[in-house]
Amino acid sequence: MAQKFCLVAPRHKMAMPRGGRLEDMLFDGSASSIVRLLAVPIRPKETLVPLVDLPHTTVFSPVAAATTSTNITKSKKRKADSKAEPSPCHKRRMLNSGRSMAIARARTMRRTRDPPTFIGLPTELLRIVFEKIESIEDVVCLALTDRFMWHVGLEYLHKHNALFLGRWANKNIVFAGEGCQPNDYPPNLFSAKELDQLRGEKYISPWFKDIPGVRGAPFKLHHFVYSSVSTIEGDTSLYIDHSADLIRHVNQVMGLTAGKDVPLALLFARMEIGVSDGDYYPTDEPWILRNLTTRQFVRADALAVRPEVIRGPKIGIIGFGEVVMARTCWTTAPVTGVAGSTTIPLRGVWAGHRFDITTRDRHEDRRKDADQWTDVSDEVAAEMARLWEGKFGPDWRKTCFDAWLEKNSQNIDLKRSLGMMFGKTTV
């Protein structure tokens, strides 16, 4: 009987929700979920349209009330400031200098005898205000009250979104098989003290915990897969699990319903709010997988079967996720029926190591020890090619690419069309 494998971060007691047979998961695209866990997000480029369209004063006055409570369900809409738009030259100066925009706002308030507000405060003080707000719904609602506030608040929205992405970066991970025996752990995953503690632990299923006399089984690596031991990390989508709810909240506060006209400025603002994972992973930059433990990296261009399959950190057929899966396998019992005549190493050389996926430029900019990193792209690519050849035969590149193209061509055309329509990068 084939054993099941699952990705775990044992030191942090985290596990993926689904496991499966190694011979299935390695070749069926399941490894793409690993990329979302390891890819470090990059803040998307900010569109200037909302900043130009929003007047100097409160644009969506019902939103201002939401900064005190996220439970508001209905508010009346007040008229926006009808003062003349500043000149294009003045617009550029305001966009390039947050302090200039704050000064211009303060002068406008004095001329129109508006009541004093904190919107005219310097950027540094406004950042302190946003830092003190715990609810992201309140952050967005406050940001929508003024175009300069939007410029500052968007910074905190992106910080919040980044918490959903790359959650396993820099964590020790293992693709653990259920055939692991007790006391069999990858080297250097745990300290000697931690290993002594694990040797004395017993695993008891939640179904039998309350039954007297149940002794439990010796604890082993695969027990970290269970929800009674680890936190199960869902395969989340930034848009589905977060952004869509935030847009619905804004619509509710604004009193917007189906068929009701949406102000142009709010329409563009909702595009900034309704971001997805792909918005944080640009496709026009080269990405690399980094082993932070061994200080080695793998380039996307060396790993990809063809350039067409590269979409930022996501690579079709053989990608960074497949590399991590194959090189972090760990089990004691042998696995049968894997990759035809080729056997995957079941004592992975990277098992228990720390990883992230980042852009090549960011890697070059931030590293200070340039001579201590090793490019192992060719070695890893050759290793993966042997596995795929063992599974699909000597003509595996054409076979796999044709299958990938048939599956993804319509999807790619649709995403490109949507990207051109909304001015966004899609993956």
pLDDT digits (tens, 9 = 90+) for 232-277: 987 667 777 777 888 888 777 777 665 566 666 677 777 788 888 8
Looking at residues 313-332, what average pLDDT do you find? 96
Going by their DSSP bridges, the two strands 314-315 and 329-330 should be labelled as unpaired
d(CA 187, CA 180) in angstroms, rounded, equals 14
pLDDT at 210: 64
Which of 231, 330, 165, 178 is CA-nearest to residue 14? 231
Tell me the three-class secondary structure of 234-269, residue by residue.
CCCCHHHHHHHHHHHHHHHHHCCCCCCCCCHHHHHH
The confidence band for 48, taking pLDDT boundaries of 50, 70 and 90, is very low
Asked if 145 and 63 touch (Cβ cutoff 8 Å), the reply is yes
Give the pairing of strands 314-315 and 355-359. unpaired
Model confidence at 305, pLDDT cuts 50, 70, 90, reads very high
Phi, psi of 286 (to 5 degrees): -75, 135
Integer-rounded Cα radius of gyration of the chain: 26
| pLDDT reported for residue 79 | 35
Amino acid letter, 33: S
Q: Tokens 């001579």 label which residue?
A: 371
Phi and psi at residue 177, in whole multiples of 5°? -95, 150
Give me 116's structure tokens. Answer: 């004093």
Q: How far apart are CA 379 and CA 303, in angstroms?
A: 10
pTM: 0.77
Q: From CA 359, how far away is CA 294, in angstroms rounded?
A: 18
Most confident of 18-27, 73-82, 141-150: 18-27
- Indicate the SS3 state at residue 120: helix
Cross-strand bridge partners of residue 288: 299, 358
Cβ(330)–Cβ(352) under 8 Å? yes
Where residue 418 falls among pLDDT bands split at 50, 70, 90?
very low
The confidence score (pLDDT) of residue 151 equals 85
Give the CA distances from residue 59 to residues 55, 106, 269, 362, in Å, rounded to whole numbers and listed in that order. 6, 16, 12, 37
**Cβ(53)–Cβ(46) below 8 Å:** no
Mean pLDDT score, 113-125: 69
Task: Give the up-direction half-sphere exposure of residue 360: CA atoms within 13 A in the CB hemisphere.
Answer: 12
Mean pLDDT score, 391-406: 93
335 or 420, which is more confident: 335
Residue ranges with strand state E in 56-182: 174-177
pLDDT of residue 243: 79
> In angstroms, rounded to a whole number, what is the distance separating the alpha carbons of residues 224 and 109?
60
Which residues are CB-contacts of 78 (< 8 A; sequence separation ≥ 6)?
A: 58, 61, 62
d(CA 343, CA 338): 6
Annotated domain spans of the chain: 4-41+167-172+280-395, 49-164
**In contact, 202 and 218? CB cutoff 8 Å:** yes
